[in-house]
Structure formats: structure tokens, C-alpha cells
């Protein structure tokens, strides 16, 4: 019985470590590759690009690429 308990505990620890590793590798939900002005949000569009969207839901053309700082 002790052996079974040890095996189950070992499997639980291994699963927890694996899950923690996958969580660490996953990007944050708001990790867009662009920075938008305060009143706008970054949106991932269907062709794979990111755009800044104003409060009316329209792409604004504002924003900067993270890393390079280049204007969009």
C-alpha cells in the first residue's frame, strides 16, 4: 500500500511540474507584439497581423511595434 501511495504521489508531482512548465512557456493573454495608445486596444486580425482599435471598434493606424519601436 505504501508503494502505491508513493507512485501516485510521484505521478501527481510530475504532472504538477509539467503543468507549471507549460504555463511558463505560454504567452500572456494580452501579449500583443504592438503597443497602442491608452484609449485603444491591440486586436489580432484574421490575416495574422495586429492593429490598434479605437473605442468605436475601427482600426486607427496608431501604435508601435514592441522590440523595434517602429511606428505601425
In this structure, of 3-12, 16-25, 27-36, the range with the lowest mean pLDDT score is: 16-25
pTM of the model: 0.52
Q: In angstroms, rounded to a whole number, what is the distance separating the alpha carbons of residues 31 and 57? A: 19
pLDDT at 36 over 90: yes
Q: In the chain, what percentage of residues exceed pLDDT 90? A: 31
Three cell numbers written together for 31 = 501579449
SS (H, E, C) the chain: CHHHHHHHHHHHHHHHHHHHHHHHHCCCCCCCCEECCCCCEEEECCCCCEEEECCCCCECCCCEECCCCCEC
pLDDT at 53 (0 to 100)? 95
**In contact, 67 and 31? CB cutoff 8 Å:** no
Kindly list the domain boundaries of the chain, sorted by start residue.
34-65
Amino acid at each position: 500500500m505504501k508503494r502505491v501511495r508513493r507512485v501516485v504521489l510521484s505521478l501527481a508531482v510530475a504532472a504538477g511540474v509539467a503543468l507549471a512548465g507549460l504555463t511558463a512557456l505560454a504567452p500572456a493573454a494580452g501579449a500583443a507584439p504592438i503597443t497602442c495608445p491608452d484609449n485603444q486596444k491591440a486586436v489580432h486580425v484574421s490575416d495574422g497581423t495586429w492593429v490598434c482599435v479605437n473605442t468605436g471598434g475601427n482600426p486607427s493606424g496608431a501604435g508601435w511595434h514592441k522590440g523595434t519601436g517602429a511606428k505601425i
